[in-house]
């Protein structure tokens, strides 16, 4: 795909905003703290009267207005002691890139993430000091057919998925000359944990937090350096409503649950959600495709939104990271040989741990860490540092309950929305179908050597 870059400029808040240091919560500073890309495609629209400069100028003007209430996105991160980050709200602005493609939208087929996306999604130069990196980069690409793509790359150290979608939807409302629906709530004290000087009675309970342990390695290996280097590929795999129902029936059939502390089983019937069911299916298929030994330990990372689980719930519009990472663990042999309900049960067990006390305990645990480096994934692909959820592990993120579709900047809704570049082994997303037919789409990245086998099991193992 030939893409010509026509310009790059900085868009700043259109009015003066508060300036100063914004303290980030501990939870903002662990896990993935690099930028996360998403992309939207729009067909040419009769409402696009006049040159494409009209679209470009409308987007930039409304973006400047959106950055007034969402002013943290116009700031910069900076390192402070203990590998911790602070947000400098300095109104330095966000980067807006204009590009032109020689291709037509139809040339992209089903819009599955591919190397071509590298030209459609802004690139972040991580060789620069972190205080020079914009927190948000936007790229508008015009295609030969008149359609456009709008891609956003946003810092995960500042927002999680719900907050990023909140910003984008409000930006679109402003572009349509509508008022904001929900103002961002910018005070992060609710997720900053207790004061270390407070009394013991006020401190959260000390709970076990396996999510802070290093993920399992392949048996026989002492590190994951070689696994990180292996070539990966991406697949977009659809499960129809009927296939999804078959999986749910299988997962929710009567099965036997074995606790970690007992060899005695309890027979019960599940009531598993789409996420628990599909994630369990992905986990089992990955173990088979990777040809694990039965005794291979494996972990599955789960993101749980803690907004409604806190006591009291976080304020509406809480703008920051409130998705909590927990880990489901098992052995490959157990996952493969036991019914699907076993895998779904392991995932549910991890999710159900996320309570108000559990979140506060985890934050308190992080506050007491002298250095957060080992909990942070801030390294480029190919690095041997930071957490790694590739083989023998997985991360499965759910977008099933997020309002990810229907982003209208005044010229109609997108024809496709999805993740941008997506090239880390083990990364996967579950998205609802855009046509509302009850199907779901799994966006999955695996090593090239394992993908064909995974696809075979993914469909053939549905009873």
pLDDT per position as a tens digit, 258-294:
445 444 455 555 699 999 999 999 999 999 999 999 9
pLDDT in tens, 144-153: 988 999 999 9
Annotated active-site residue in 88, 305, 377, 408: 408
Q: Return the pLDDT at 206.
A: 73
- What is the band of 386 on the pLDDT scale with cuts at 50, 70, 90? low
Domains defined for the chain, CATH in brackets: 3-191 (3.30.559.10), 216-460 (3.30.559.10)
pTM listed for this prediction: 0.90
Percent with pLDDT over 90 in the chain: 66
d(CA 75, CA 25) in angstroms, rounded, equals: 16
Longest dimension (CA), the chain: 72
Annotated active-site residue in 156, 281, 422, 457: 156
pLDDT above 80 for 422:
no
156 is catalytic: yes
C-beta neighbour count of 144 within 10 angstroms: 13
Q: Return the pLDDT at 257.
A: 53
pLDDT in tens, 6-57: 889 999 999 999 999 999 998 898 888 889 999 999 998 776 655 567 889 9
- What is the band of 382 on the pLDDT scale with cuts at 50, 70, 90? very low
- What is the band of 202 on the pLDDT scale with cuts at 50, 70, 90? low
- What is the band of 420 on the pLDDT scale with cuts at 50, 70, 90? confident
Question: Structure tokens of 266?
Answer: 């309890």
pLDDT in tens, 399-408: 998 889 999 9
Q: Return the pLDDT at 114.
A: 72
pLDDT above 50 for 197:
no
């Amino acid at each position: 795909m030939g893409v010509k870059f026509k310009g790059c400029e900085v868009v700043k808040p259109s009015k003066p905003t508060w300036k100063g240091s914004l303290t980030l919560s501990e939870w903002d500073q662990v896990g993935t703290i690099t930028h996360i890309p998403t992309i939207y495609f729009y067909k040419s629209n009769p409402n696009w009267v006049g040159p494409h400069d009209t679209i470009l100028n409308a987007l930039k003007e409304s973006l400047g207005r959106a950055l007034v209430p969402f002013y943290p996105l116009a700031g910069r991160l900076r390192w402070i002691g203990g590998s911790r980050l602070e947000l400098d709200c300095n109104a330095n602005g966000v980067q807006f890139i204009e590009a032109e493609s020689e291709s037509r939208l139809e040339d992209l087929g089903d819009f599955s993430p591919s190397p071509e996306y590298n030209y459609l999604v802004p690139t972040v130069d991580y060789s620069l000091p972190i205080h020079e990196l914009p927190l948000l980069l936007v790229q508008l690409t015009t295609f030969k057919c008149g359609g456009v793509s709008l891609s956003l790359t946003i810092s995960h150290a500042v927002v999680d998925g719900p907050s990023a979608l909140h910003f984008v939807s409000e930006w679109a409302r402003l572009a349509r000359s509508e008022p904001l629906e929900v103002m961002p709530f910018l005070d992060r004290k609710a997720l900053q944990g207790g004061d270390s000087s407070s009394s013991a009675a006020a401190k959260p309970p000390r709970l076990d937090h396996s999510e802070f342990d290093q993920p399992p390695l392949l048996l026989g290996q002492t590190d994951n350096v070689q696994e990180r280097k292996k070539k990966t590929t991406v697949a977009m795999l659809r499960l129809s409503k009927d296939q999804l129902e078959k999986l749910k029936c299988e997962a929710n059939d009567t099965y036997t649950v074995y606790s970690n502390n007992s060899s005695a089983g309890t027979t019960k019937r599940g009531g598993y959600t789409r996420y628990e069911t599909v994630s369990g299916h992905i986990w089992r298929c990955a173990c088979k495709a990777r040809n694990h030994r039965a005794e291979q330990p494996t972990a599955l990372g789960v993101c749980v939104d803690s907004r409604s689980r806190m006591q009291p719930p976080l304020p509406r519009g809480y703008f920051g990271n409130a998705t909590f990472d927990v880990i489901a663990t098992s052995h490959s042999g157990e996952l493969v040989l036991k019914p699907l309900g076993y895998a779904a049960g392991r995932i549910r067990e991890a999710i159900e741990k996320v309570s108000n006390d559990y979140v506060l305990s985890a934050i308190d645990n992080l506050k007491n860490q002298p250095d957060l480096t080992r909990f942070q994934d801030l390294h480029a692909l190919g690095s041997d540092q930071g957490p790694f959820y590739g083989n023998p592990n997985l991360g499965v993120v759910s977008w099933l309950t997020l309002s990810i579709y229907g982003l209208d900047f005044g010229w109609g809704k997108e024809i496709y929305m999805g993740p941008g570049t997506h090239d880390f082994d083990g990364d996967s997303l579950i998205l609802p179908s855009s046509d509302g037919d009850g199907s779901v789409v799994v966006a999955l990245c695996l090593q090239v050597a394992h993908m064909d086998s995974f696809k075979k099991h993914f469909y053939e193992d549905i009873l």
